[in-house]
Structure 1
């Protein structure tokens, strides 16, 4: 009984801290990770009660990138509004606010946001999105971005970075149009060692077709892991897909995003501390063949 009470008190303390962080506007204190702890793994096949748009054009990005919102031109005062029954007006879907740019970089399974925060200032003209399935981890990244934006009011850093709770194994094409993305990062994904769980790996024959769909020709899938078996799996499956070809090692090492990917993720830093090895592979999206 005593142990249960301690766990309950700790859980309540974490919830109170997160609620306080999210209720304060303009707070510049970085969130503390210990108050956002969650299980390391989530079953992507479970029903997580996620909210997702039926179509990418219906996604409202304005809350993630408020600095890029475009104000629609006001309706001419002399133009009468269309006559629509009130009940139809109530049922009509709200048109999402437009932003001036499309998201072009996606970090799938962004974890605690290390890669996002490092990429933001190095790609200031590009909108970057982290996708994470775990609730508390997503909240941590949201609060981290909010605090960093508050700290950098003058430089306007981190306005191009956002995070979204999503299950990319199910809903990736709901958020991105065909050919929208220039880069997709898959950093230290769950290896799912057991053979019966290989179907949960984020790189697979089916999912690679979705990456090919959302990536533009010339776009790149970045993969990194410290598990040799998983590295071989990802290389094998991406190599086998007709829409991808592997980037040469010389071109790979010349890409500045590779150095950031190696050193700035939380998992990458953990591997560094334990003197582990990191395995990197990049794959370029090919042009679609002529019909």
Structure 2
């Protein structure tokens, strides 16, 4: 069972690891890639969406949230969040939206959580958290159906080998699962610095019956949707991956796309 001690070990990253402070990140060595088909030997904080300990991960936000803020559900889910640059930035841009970043590798999770705690010490990032999560196995435990407004997938691992195709976070099977968790009319936003990978991702999503590509100017609905998507697309350029790409690669393009979930509303 998940306990407060386990929460502190994961969230603070300090118990038994005194080098986990944000000023000593260089001491950490981490894997650049992980195998989602094998990396599952770790504790997850809940067995179902109703059991997630929001009071532990978002203690201040739960007390100070606006009356219109959604209770008990996430608004923005960043899949493969890495060290959480986007999670921290988007939580500042939308303080009334509950944001969670999901990452499989353990050390980026610890360092990302520590960076969030550093922000919270300054009264920021109260609406953000980072979890160690295998999205191929844990999403049913974490997310309620038709509850997510925005999914973001940024700079995913290419998994170029044919034998690694099942590890990709964009596949017809996973897209059906993402559509299940998105509210009708919710959005999936993607970006990549690799053109061939972007074209593969784009074609895979475009071929799925529950998603259609939209341009920001075409978004019908509230002005908040258009503003939120524009902001998210801008924040994609402020991640460590984007900045590294702009600094080192000859092609400075970050390829982006927005897809709307077109599934019918589930009433059962």
| Class of the TM-score when normalised by the shorter of the 2 chains | 0.7 to 0.9
- Relative to 1, partners in 2 of residues 1:117 and 1:216: Cα closer, same or farther, differing over 3 Å? same
2:244 to 261, 265, 270: 270
1:57 matched to 2:50 = yes
Q: Which runs of 5+ in 2 are unaligned?
A: 1-12, 64-69, 220-225
After TM superposition, give the deviation of residue 21 of structure 1 in Å: 6.0
Aligned partners of 2:210, 2:157: CA distance in 1, in Å? 24
Contact 1:36/1:140 (8 A) holds in 2? no
Corresponding residue number in structure 1 for 2:234 = 259
Aligned partners of 2:134, 2:120: CA distance in 1, in Å? 26
Corresponding residue number in structure 2 for 1:170 = 137
1:123 to 68, 77, 94: 94
Contact 2:73/2:144 (8 A) holds in 1? no
Corresponding residue number in structure 1 for 2:60 = 67
Larger Rg: 1
Aligned partners of 2:35, 2:196: CA distance in 1, in Å? 21
Q: Which runs of 5+ in 1 are unaligned?
A: 1-14, 23-28, 71-98
1:48 matched to 2:15 = no
After TM superposition, give the deviation of residue 100 of structure 1 in Å: 4.4
1:138 matched to 2:109 = yes
Describe the SS at the equivalent of 1:62: helix
Contact 1:106/1:185 (8 A) holds in 2? yes
Q: Deviations over 1:50-100 (max 9, x none)?
A: 333332112222221011446xxxxxxxxxxxxxxxxxxxxxxxxxxxx94
What does 1:270-289 correspond to in 2, within 5 Å? 270-275=244-249, 276-288=252-264
Contact 2:39/2:104 (8 A) holds in 1? no
Contact 2:211/2:263 (8 A) holds in 1? no
Alpha-carbon RMSD across the aligned residues, in angstroms, is 2.5
- Relative to 1, partners in 2 of residues 1:66 and 1:17: Cα closer, same or farther, differing over 3 Å? closer
- Relative to 1, partners in 2 of residues 1:285 and 1:107: Cα closer, same or farther, differing over 3 Å? same
1:38 matched to 2:30 = yes
Corresponding residue number in structure 2 for 1:243 = 210
Aligned partners of 1:290, 1:67: CA distance in 2, in Å? 33
Contact 1:68/1:101 (8 A) holds in 2? no
- Relative to 1, partners in 2 of residues 1:268 and 1:174: Cα closer, same or farther, differing over 3 Å? same
Contact 1:142/1:163 (8 A) holds in 2? yes
- Relative to 1, partners in 2 of residues 1:268 and 1:221: Cα closer, same or farther, differing over 3 Å? same
- Relative to 1, partners in 2 of residues 1:17 and 1:233: Cα closer, same or farther, differing over 3 Å? same
